[in-house]
Structure 1
Amino acid sequence: MFDKLPELIDPIYSVNHNKHFVGRVNQARLKRLADMVLSADREVEVQLDFYYDRALRFPAFVMKLKTNLNLQCQRSLKPFDYAVETEVKGIFTESMALIDDLPADIEVYDLEGGKVSPLGWIEDELLLCVPIAPIDEQNSMDYENDSIPDVVAKETVLQEEAFKKPNPFAVLQGLKK
């Protein structure tokens, strides 16, 4: 088994020959992803399977990705590892007019030329997996906000005292009668 993906893949040739690629890509090679993570020294495990989808009647592929992204927790501001394991199914087409009846979970790739770089597909899919505000559920904040229970307790005491005080308008109620 090769540990390196090819730089360029001919999708139609790969579909016609049911090609299967397994390899690793360093996150540092994915420039847009490297800008979003704290440390881009991790490996991305990639599995690409090409085939002809008889049900959809299109050349297709399945890409599986597995990696850990080093992100900064927005709650504690500490780095943490965010595990990503995703699978995407895509088809190739020469005309976008042919894709009207496809299911929503199928990615569509336009065949512009001969060979394509799988690094773009990998990077796009990993960017979709990065959360907008990453939070590590195992981290907690370094401080506790104790003022909120005190405010609630003070409001409760003030409300109880208000019920104990005599109503200043009670005298007027007596005069009205």
Structure 2
Amino acid sequence: MLDRLPDFIDPIAFAERRRELSGTIKISEFARLSEFLADKQGDVQVEFSFAKEGRQAIIHGRIKATLALTCQTCLQEVLWPLEITVNLGVVSSLEQADRLAAEYEPLLLDAEKISLRELVEDEMLLALPDYPRHDYDCIAREQSQAKLPVEDDNEQIRSDNPFSVLAKLKNTGDK
């Protein structure tokens, strides 16, 4: 098992040798993922094992990280744990992808080597939520912590009403 993650891998050669990879990558090293993050601190834990099923090269793995995203309700930071299970079948054409077993997602290989960092980043981007939000009502919590003076605002609205003089005349019966 390799403890240091290589920049590029040859999935076919790794599968023939039944290699295993394990290590961490800094979150700040993912350029495309960084666009979605509120904070780029932390690490991503990666574990991959390469094997062959018949003539098919496959990749099994796990990716774990906790990402700091922006809550789309309150616009504050929300910590989003990711634990992704990876099951990829290495293919070189769309026809091979169609014949791939249902439990595998196709990894279309157009060159001999691929970037491990880009592979991990692609899997993380696919796992991001469309609208990250806190798992509680963050707006209600914010309002209760702010303790806004609601009654004072209502009194001000009533006194600024231009028809308040007419309402007083109507109540007293004066003409």
Name the TM-score class by shorter chain. Answer: 0.7 to 0.9
TM-score, normalisation: structure 1: 0.73
CA deviation string 1:85-135 (max 9, x = no partner): 011111112232123233444221222222211111111111111111111
Per the TM alignment, residue 143 of structure 1 is displaced from its structure 2 partner at its CA by 2.7
Letter of the 2:70 partner, please give it: Q
CA deviation string 1:33-92 (max 9, x = no partner): 0111011111000001100023xx411101210000101112222212100001111111
SS in 2 for 1:14: helix
Give runs of aligned pairs for residues 1-177 of structure 1, distance below 5 A. 3-54=3-54, 57-138=55-136, 140-141=138-139, 142-143=142-143
SS in 1 for 2:114: coil
Structure 1: gaps spanning 5 or more residues: 147-177
Instruction: Give the whole-Å Cα distance in 2 for the aligned partners of 1:112 and 1:99.
Output: 13
Does the 8 A contact of 1:76 with 1:139 survive in 2? no
CA deviation string 1:124-149 (max 9, x = no partner): 111111111111114521237x9xxx
Number of residue-to-residue matches in the alignment = 143
TM-score, normalisation: structure 2: 0.74
Letter of the 1:132 partner, please give it: D
The ranges of structure 1 where at least 4 consecutive aligned residues each deviate by more than 6 angstroms after the TM superposition are none
Structure 2: gaps spanning 5 or more residues: 145-149, 151-175
Letter of the 1:133 partner, please give it: Y
Q: CA distance change for structure 1 residues 36 and 106 in 2, over 3 Å: closer, same or farther?
A: same
Does the 8 A contact of 1:45 with 1:67 survive in 2? yes
Does the 8 A contact of 1:74 with 1:135 survive in 2? yes
Q: CA distance change for structure 1 residues 12 and 103 in 2, over 3 Å: closer, same or farther?
A: closer
Does the 8 A contact of 2:39 with 2:68 survive in 1? yes
Structure 1 vs Structure 2 CA RMSD: 2.0
Which has the greater radius of gyration?
Answer: 1
